[in-house]
Amino acid sequence: EVQLVQSGAEVKKPGESLKISCKGSGYTFSDYWVGWVRQRPGKGLEWMGIIYPGDSDTVYSPSLQGQVTISVDKSTTTVYLQWSSLKASDTAMYYCARPVDGPWGQGTLVTVSS
């Protein structure tokens, strides 16, 4: 079964760093783009960026460039989303997904609050 499994919910304080993960299985991991989608509470879906595990080619949304880092570890078939300094506005559900036909991960809820 093709699936993406994400790490668990996180509660952090403003200014802290965070790295969440998305592990792919059931397919040739290097051959498919995997991206991150943000959904703030009560808001719509927004692609943050996407990475091609085969060569680590990464494309970021212009509005998020420099705010987050997307990386990959092919040896563990895992894609990561990382923040160096969280803000309250980063509070959201984060999904990893293969574009269009999926699958999607189950989502990771990140709460940033003092």
Partner 1 sequence: DIQVTQSPSSLSASVGDRVTITCRASQGISNYLAWYQQKPGKVPKLLIYGASTLESGVPSRFSGSGSGTDFTLTITSLQSEDFATYYCQKYNTALPTFGQGTKVEIK
CA–CA gap between residue 35 and residue 72 (Å, rounded): 11
User: Phi/psi class of residue 66: alpha, beta or left (left: φ > 0; alpha: ψ in -120 to 50)?
Assistant: left
Q: How far is the CB of 92 from partner 1 (least distance, A)?
A: 14
Q: How far is the CB of 31 from partner 1 (least distance, A)?
A: 14
Which is nearest to 77 in space by CA: 16, 41, 43, 30? 30
- Footprint (CB under 8 A) of partner 1, residues 20-79: 33, 35, 44-47, 49-50, 52, 57, 59-62
**Segment contacting partner 1 (CB under 8 A): 10-18, 24-32, 74-82, 99-107?**
99-107
Binding residues vs partner 1 (CB under 8 A): 33, 35, 44-47, 49-50, 52, 57, 59-62, 95, 99-102, 104-107
